[in-house]
Amino acid sequence: MRCLEPAEAAAAFRTSAAAPLLDLASNDYLSLSRHPALVAAAQAAAAGEGVGAGASRLVCGSRPVHAALETALARWLGRERVLLFPSGFQANLAAVAAFADRHSLVLADRHIHQSLLSGVRASGAGLQRFSHNDLADLHRRLQTARQERPSQRLLVLSESLFSMEGTSPDVTALAALCAGHGAALLLDEAHALGVLGPGGRGLGYGLNGEGGQPEIALISGTFGKAFGSGGAFLAGDTLVMEWLLQFSGPFRYTTALAPPLAAGALAALHQIQAEPHGPALLQRAERWRTALEAAGWPRPAGVGPILPLLVGDDHAALALQHRLEAAGLLSVAIRPPTVPEGTARLRLVLRHDLPAGTLGRLLAALGDPPCR
């Protein structure tokens, strides 16, 4: 195997693709954003309800489609209640505020999303970061926190599929650990819903405290990824959701989710229920991981449709991005500060409708792995 020399990597910057690029970068995992059913639902909602809601949910922004989507999601996820938000960022700000204040301690995975960290800062809570998906590290920190301040409110933040790492925690063990220390668990399922878990319901499905199962206090999800639409939601028990309805600024003081987006998300849910493509997508992801490893690249972590191809050097990662563009493929180089120094990568993302032969095109475009 021959490694790329620095001069060869730099040369890739001078190449550009003239034809449209095949998408290996977006989060449209199930290829629903242009699905005829979603487009038709959004068009009908726009024609009947308008493009925007015009006000917050508590003024006059609520539409029947909002209630229909919340009810359908709650039933699908096995949760008592769902509330919609215009964005995932707003949903996560609201979620943290529901469980944390200046007297609380938040323990967050090292690679948690920026929106959750912003929620912690806004809450005034103390913050500790535990090593990525390291339940032993989290256990030590929870144990110490309980010993030092036995009655302090504890909140744990994690994701079921991390967007830049492609990895997932053992969610059942995570929930059990939190329950054992009396800590609430907020799980961000943004990238997992539609793909991971039974019927695409996420890795937190079934962990709602019933039948002796450990509990996840709140689920956060978005419609801008596998659902192919826009907006977000929180799902939990009636008490927490009523608190959000009455006291959450990100819910109360923002214009309601646009009716066409809500209608598109509801249509997407119907499609996911009727044709769950998650298992086939995961099988394809396994084939891609194996092929990349056989070609000499570090095996991308995880099992989901996000395949981080670790390169290390920032310039080499950018060079690979441009090389793929020249071959008609779109994959974005992710560099610091989004990821730690020395871990620049190409973020390869699989979608349901990728044409046959895409993996071969990718391997040919990547060429030899860079020198380390």
Told to judge if 159 belongs to the known catalytic residues of this protein, a careful annotator would answer yes
Told to judge if 131 belongs to the known catalytic residues of this protein, a careful annotator would answer no
> Are 96 and 122 in contact, with CB atoms under 8 Å apart?
yes
Told to judge if 322 belongs to the known catalytic residues of this protein, a careful annotator would answer no
Told to judge if 188 belongs to the known catalytic residues of this protein, a careful annotator would answer yes
Residue of 35, 66, 111, 191 marked catalytic: 191
Residue 231's Cβ-side half-sphere holds a number of Cα atoms within 13 Å equal to 27
Residue of 113, 277, 322, 352 marked catalytic: 113
Residue 255 CA to its chain's centroid (Å): 23
Residue of 92, 163, 168, 208 marked catalytic: 163
Residue of 35, 111, 225, 322 marked catalytic: 225
Q: What is the DSSP letter of 370?
A: B
Distance CA 229, CA 299 (A): 31
Told to judge if 113 belongs to the known catalytic residues of this protein, a careful annotator would answer yes
Told to judge if 27 belongs to the known catalytic residues of this protein, a careful annotator would answer yes
Q: Please list the residues that pair with 168 across neighbouring strands.
A: none
Angle, to 10 degrees, between the axis of helix 135-148 and the axis of helix 171-180?
Answer: 10
Residue of 159, 165, 189, 325 marked catalytic: 159
Told to judge if 225 belongs to the known catalytic residues of this protein, a careful annotator would answer yes
Find, among 185, 82, 98, 87, the residue nearest to 135 by Cα: 185
Tokens 């021959």 correspond to what residue? 2
Which tokens is 305 given? 């449709």
Distance CA 132, CA 279 (A): 25
Catalogue the long-range contacts made by 280-288 (C-beta closer than 8 Å, 24 or more residues apart).
280/352, 281/29, 281/30, 281/195, 281/305, 281/350, 281/351, 281/352, 282/195, 282/196, 284/350, 284/354, 285/350, 287/359, 288/348, 288/350, 288/359
Q: Is 66 exposed, middle or buried (0-12, 13-18, 19+ CB in 10 A)?
A: buried
Which amino acids are annotated catalytic? 27, 113, 159, 163, 188, 191, 225
